Chains A and B, each alone.
Chain A
Amino acid sequence: MTSLIGVLPFPATGGGTRARTRVDHRNSEEAALVKRVQARDEMAFREIVERYQSKVFSIIYGILRNRNDAEDIAQQVFAKIYFSIKNFDFRSSLLTWIYKITVNECYDYLRKKRVRKLVYESDFSEEDAQRMEAAEPAIDPHPPIDTRLAQRDLVMKLLSKLSEEDRSLMLLKEVEGHSVEELAQMTGLNENTIKVKLFRTRQKLLRAASRLTHARTLAR
């Protein structure tokens, strides 16, 4: 099976799949907002914060499951946006750019804390635990909380094996639920490229999972 993968061509463009989707992110309403921020318009920056704060907070909370940490990192994300928006080049949508910064900040935070286990029980407030219990189940409708923590730990380890770009793309697809077409518009890449990138990323994840399982088996 794997022998075929290297020689497979790009996914077919027929059957409703379009290879186009070059979106000009330079001439949108969002671009005008960014340009105002680049010109140090504080009201425009405020608009960006208010527009994206829920999204950023939710991404971080999804990864860390801790409100205080999520708040702290969300502030850090917007501070980073403020200082580096002058380098934003309009090749992707603002949301894609913010998403990448957000996920990277989460990883930096985890690296700095050298968290082996993603979330310790002591990090949970009662409110967090209730929210987590109420969250949409992913695989098993009612997995115990320790199983969910183990799953999240595994997911973070697997995602750490990917490049920033692949990681963001995969999360935008599977966690945020964007379609291939939407991803093409957001990133400025064409749909075929998105499909190829997703396929390769899925393969990398499978290989990483297999290596991890193998290592765990050997450790026992």
Chain B
Amino acid sequence: MHREIYDRLEEILSGAPPDSAAKHLQQCEECREKVAAMAGQAALLRVLKAPADVEPRPGFYARVLERIEAEGPVSIWNLFAESPFGRRIAVASLALALLLGIYLVSIERTAEPMVAGGPAEQVCAAPACDAVATNASAVASPVSVVPGEDAPGAVLTRVDQDQPDQNQPDDDMLVNLVTYREQ
């Protein structure tokens, strides 16, 4: 669109083009097409014009007051409850908070022994334990693997010796060759 039309566009569209703009439009097809398209669109927008005599029914103010009383002050939370976008934001925020919580808990569990015990001591008596301990140190795991304190190898312990289980009179149970203890 040329400058003389661009400058006077609103006057042209309101039906009072200055002479210079009118002359230009006669000569320039490009501007004429563009102005015609914009004029058509402006006319289209006027379908939203209401007839002049529309009025609300009598007693409108009273009904507005009733509405105000019924609604009460608008809360900021209504933004999340009412609009679909707000609801999406709320759900996304909850999901993010949940993920963040899970992540923090898992990080804390992993980091706990390092903070509490410093470098993990590894005492391993059983040969099988060596491999486990080596693997553990290779991945710099803060959990150390120690054998049962009473004896290496299979450890037979008595669980609840004071209260023997009736269904299982011999409540000795074989636990693993090693016991894991977090330091």
Residues of chain A at the chain B interface (Cβ within 8 Å): 1, 4-5, 8, 11-12, 15, 46, 49-50, 53-54, 57-59, 61-63, 67, 70-71, 74-76, 78-80, 82-84, 111, 131-132, 134-136, 138-139, 148, 151-152, 154-155, 158-159, 170-171, 174-175, 179-180, 195, 198-199, 202, 205-206, 209
Contact = CB atoms under 8 A, between A and B. Distances in A.
A contact face: mostly helix, strand, loop, or mixed: helix
B50 A195 contact: no
B127 interface: no
Given A49-B64, A53-B60, A5 B1 contact: yes
Interface stretch (B2-10, B97-105, B154-162): B2-10
A148 B49 CA distance: 12
Interface in B1-30: 1-3, 6-10, 14, 18, 30
A159 to B, nearest CB: 8
A205 B3 CA distance: 21
B51 A11 contact: no
15 contacts: A1-B30, A11-B7, A53-B56, A61-B54, A62-B49, A75-B60, A79-B67, A82-B64, A139-B44, A155-B47, A170-B45, A179-B14, A180-B10, A202-B42, A206-B41
B63 interface: yes
Contacts of B64: 49, 75, 78-79, 82
B60 A195 contact: no
Nearest to B4: A12
Max chain A C-beta neighbours (<10 A), residue from B18, B45, B73: B45
Interface in B22-81: 30-31, 34, 37-38, 40-57, 60-61, 63-64, 67-68, 71, 73-74
Nearest to B66: A75
Interface of B: 1-3, 6-10, 14, 18, 30-31, 34, 37-38, 40-57, 60-61, 63-64, 67-68, 71, 73-74, 84
A198 B10 contact: yes
A138 B61 contact: no
Contacts of B56: 53-54, 57, 70-71, 74
A162 B51 CA distance: 25
B46 A174 contact: yes
B38 A175 contact: no
B79 to A, nearest CB: 12
Given A71-B56, A171-B45, A83 B63 contact: no
Contacts of B8: 11
The 3 A-B pairs of least Cβ separation, nearest first, read A62-B50, A174-B45, A138-B46
Contact of A171 (B3, B41, B48): B48
Contact of A152 (B38, B47, B55): B47
Contacts of B51: 61, 131-132, 134-136
Contacts of A5: 1
A8 B50 contact: no
A83 B1 contact: no
Given A74-B56, A139-B47, 7 more contacts: A49-B61, A54-B55, A62-B48, A74-B60, A83-B73, A138-B43, A206-B37
Contacts of B50: 58-59, 61-62, 135
B47 A57 contact: no
A54 B46 CA distance: 18
Nearest to B2: A4
